[in-house]
Structure 1
Amino acid sequence: MHTDSPARQDIGIDPATPPVYDPFSWELHENPYPVYAWMRENAPVYRNEERDFWALSRHADVLFALRHPKLFSNRNGISLEAELWNPEAYKTSFFLAMDPPEHGQLRTLVSGGFTARHVTHQEERIRKMARERLLPLLEQGEFDFAGDYAAALPNDIVCDMVGIPAADWDLIRADTDMLNMRGDGEEERPAASVQAALRLASYFVSHVTELRRSPGEDLTSHLLDVRVKGEPLSDSEIVAFLFLLITAGNESTGKVIGNAWYHGWLHPDVKRAGLDHRPGDWTMETLRYDSASQMVARLVTEDTVLHDVVLPAGSRVALLPASGNRDRRVFEDPDRYDLDRDTSQLISFGHGPHYCLGAALAKLEIKIALEEIGSLISDYDIDLTYARRVHSPHQRGFAVLPTSVTLRDKPRGPSAA
């Protein structure tokens, strides 16, 4: 990801010139939704010849692909970048780069920690961590909402889950933030991103080694004891899982929190309702309207026909859940940000066997983050002049979101209890 361009609200589409969908384009990152709308109506099976991939933008088509992992396989990973798209993607993405049944066998090893029941029991811990991040920021009156709160909180939670010492949480987040940075139109990672990946790998190897000597009650220590077909997981497999959990567990969640904050600022009625009594609805409509998760890649395993277009076996296909969430065939007036909307059909967390393992945790984290700050402030403002978006082919959100707040005369809600 990269953070050098200012945020903008609109990118116009010239009706006489078909737009180019290029997930590596910084211009697209500023606002991809007009391009998605054109694709849904004019090229639901879109072809990018230069980068050699197809893209599916309609809700029904994305859902079909997610539900049929034999046709739309994860075995080459979920990234279009040449360096990440290969049959050994599982070495860095663990079970995310596997298909059933192997995928399910490994996912089951950790799924118990992410059930809705287990996540509910984590609520007070999450609230406590939210307050610890939030209170010093509110004393300042002005702070970077994206970096200092929205991104920090999910990172704290997932690092704590896997047993990383609190003193290292901010270092882990700094390197995680750099993993997906790209130059404008570039697929290859810049040197800073490569170095961040190497630092994380080295840290995770040391972390696993230390826990083998002195295990704790954390998720990483649990993985040291599990067996797959009678064999323990290797250190490299556990390190791959840590990469998966920490990158997936803090990137998307933090960006959704920031996106909710931004859209609340754009829509004063939403801001008032969200701060006062509707953080849950604020969370869910943001997940639909402006999800952090924009694109995931799949490998087509057989010739497949959609909308009279043949997707040849061996093709790369980009699935666009963020576009599907704006499909008028499913959501009425989809470009309206509406807290009263039925969001039950959103596909921000995927579907089928690869439905996001941490979905329940992410929704709770987002809701609590918004609820806790809403209990302590009555209003806020954003200085968009200094806001910066990330630049990633997969993730949409803010790297910097300068915010000033007005404190409530008397705190209310959970924080006041």
Structure 2
Amino acid sequence: MLTPAATDAVAYDPFSYDVQEDPYPVYAWMRENAPVYRNEERDFYALSRHADVLAAMRDPETYTNRNGISLESSLWGPQAYKNVFFLALDPPDHTALRGIVQKQFTPRTVARRADRIRELTRRRLEPLIEQDRFDFARDFAAAVPNDVVCEMLGIPEADWDTIRFDTDLLTKREHASDERSPDTLAAAFRLATYYVHLVADLRKRPGDDLTSLLTQADAGGVRLTDSEIVAFLFLIVSGGNESTGKLIGNAWYHGWRVPDVQRAGLGGRFADWAGETLRFDSSSQMTSRTTTRDVRLHGTDVPAGSRVVLLHASGNRDRRVFDDPDRFDIDRNTKKMLSFGAGPHHCLGGALAMLEIPIVLEEVAAHVAEYDLDMAAARRVHSAHQRGFASLPCVPVTRRVPSR
């Protein structure tokens, strides 16, 4: 673990495995000593304080999405729209395209999916729960959100695990590199090919799923192209699989790490457990913007056209907003957390995630009264943007007899 002293200079590189293992001491140093951090080698600035990150998220006129939201060289630039669809746009273009699907992700709309989410959760859990040991991250936490979003998109059930496998590979990077690995490129090609065929099929025979809605929709009188829909599929599947799945694993890990949290969480504090995990150890660590004008902040000049990293995971640990921020407190008020973003790009799937995560935790708690983790065999994901576990072996210690 990195534990820099206040007087030590820190090198923040989001592609470094050392930073990815535990970025929070680095964030803490940045907030106090370099709130506008400059990485010359990778050519970006980073904002780490809550107020600065929040202000930038709410100001798309100064901090534009037009070059995308990722630091990776292959995903950055004017072509970003081809990869992340409306995430690479600003209002009013962003508003028009997001509006096509916005109604499908409101709290009221996603609440109708609660029973189905519970059913899908039980289907994944039941083959695992009677085992003496199972992989909570790989076989359960990542699987349920993927199942939910694949079904929403009209992807046949037989293909759900294949989609999840290839989506997981999209984040694979070599140590300290932002270049895509051969495995990642192959997975991206397979997914793109699959999605192209899916869109073509649903244009001919639309159903009541979200992809079919997109094939029939238009934005301002302009019909969406197949490429735009494919970009949306990449976006929404990754969001459901990566962010929500890893957040569930992070909650389970911190429940193991802090016994009081485990007891309270398994005792029924499912929403509080989820909310504090989102603040304390968000699966989504950062997003990026481009400045449209010169900005001066904390005595540092950020020229127009600069890449700026917004570290919402750091803002969530800012002592200026949260008391004792490095403590996991299940009783904490987390309303000011930044994990779902703010402004026009507030996370589209936030309401769905906050419905899913407590349901998943509740279903496990119906079977498990106490658990242990084999951290010697656990394996973290190495990603500049996502934080969580690829593998998290779990050993149920005491079991409950579920009442249905």
SS in 2 for 1:47: strand
The root-mean-square deviation of aligned C-alpha atoms, in Å, is: 0.9
Mapped to 2, the partners of 1:212 and 1:139 lie a distance apart of 43
CA distance in 2, matches of 1:211, 1:239: 12
- In the alignment of these two chains, the number of paired residues is 404
Alpha-carbon offset, residue 407 of structure 1: 5.0
Distance in 2 between residues matched to 1:338 and 1:16, nearest whole Å: 29
Q: Are 2:52 and 1:52 equivalent residues in the alignment?
A: no
Displacement of 1:73: 0.5
8 Å Cα contact 2:68/2:87 also seen in 1: yes
Return the match for 1:207 from 193, 198, 221: 198
Distance 2:370 2:400 in 1: 12
Q: Is the 8 A contact 2:203 2:216 kept in 1?
A: no
Q: How far 1:408 sits from its partner (Å)? A: 2.9
The match for 1:344 among 335, 346, 352 is 335
CA offsets 1:352-386 (integer angstroms, 9 cap, x no match): 00000110101111111111101111111100011
Distance 1:50 1:224 in 2: 42
Q: 1:300 aligns with which of 286, 291, 304?
A: 291
Give the secondary structure class of the aligned counterpart of 2:330. Answer: coil
Deviates most, 400-409 or 77-86: 400-409
* Counterpart for residue 18 of structure 1: 9
Q: Residue in 2 aligned with 1:3? A: none
Q: Determine the C-alpha separation between the residues in 2 that align with 1:299 and 1:231.
A: 27
Report the equivalent of 1:4: none
Q: Which amino acid aligns with 2:277?
A: T
User: TM-score, normalised on structure 1?
Assistant: 0.95
Once the two structures are superposed, the pairs formed by residues 12-411 of structure 1 within 5 Å of their partners are 12-411=3-402
Give the CA deviation at 1:39: 0.2
1:121 positional shift? 1.1
Give the % identical residues.
60
Specify the SS of the correspondent of 1:385.
coil
Secondary structure of the 1:317 match is: strand
Q: Distance in 2 between matches of 1:70 and 1:374?
A: 45
Q: 3-state SS of the aligned residue for 1:36?
A: helix
CA contact (8 A) 1:76 1:88 kept: yes
Q: Where does residue 6 of structure 1 map in the other structure?
A: none
Paired with 2:73 and 2:268, the residues of 1 have a C-alpha distance of 46
Structure 1 residue runs without a partner (length 5+): 1-9
- Listed one character per residue, the Cα deviations across residues 55-107 of structure 1 (whole Å, up to 9, x for unaligned) are 00000000010000110010000011111111111111000110110000000
Gaps of at least 5 residues in structure 2 are none
CA distance in 1, matches of 2:3, 2:57: 30
DSSP 3-state at the match of 1:88? helix
Match of 1:5 in 2: none
1:330-355 deviations in whole A, cap 9, x for unaligned? 00000010011010100000000000
